[in-house]
Amino acid sequence: MAEICSKAQLSQIINAVNQDPFDVCRSPHGTRSIQKLIEIVREQDHFDQIKALLSTIIKELSWDINGNHVIQKILKSWSTQNSQFIFDAMSAQCVKIACHKHGCCIMQ
């Protein structure tokens, strides 16, 4: 469905996630939905909206069995410029993240 949404509709979907992005990303179904959004966004304002949602929960997502896939999808799908916020957040916590069973997958 998200693939055929207008720019405004995609913004509304992203804003709906804003209520509890951590729970959405941790959910088995929510993580897949967020990953699809990450894959299809093309507008800079959508990149910025998603970055704002996730920038404060990078460490927590990296430790979660479902949440770490959201981070991996960003790293695989987005430009270095748009994914820089992940590198910044992880560099401050790199030892803790690297030593975690899910976090190490992202560090690799």
Mean pLDDT score across all residues of the chain? 89
The arithmetic mean of pLDDT across residues 41-63, rounded, is: 94
Which of 48, 100, 92 is CA-nearest to residue 74?
A: 48
CB 71 within 8 A of CB 60: no
The domain locations on the chain are 7-107
Share of the chain above pLDDT 90, in %: 69
Q: Do residues 65 and 103 touch, judged by C-beta distance below 8 A?
A: no
Residues 36, 2 contacting (CB under 8 angstroms): yes
Query: Do 99 and 65 touch, CB atoms closer than 8 A?
Result: no
Please give the model's pTM, rounded to 2 decimal places.
0.86
* Per-residue three-class SS string for 68-101: HHHHHHHHHHCCHHHHHHHHHHHHCCHHHHHCCC
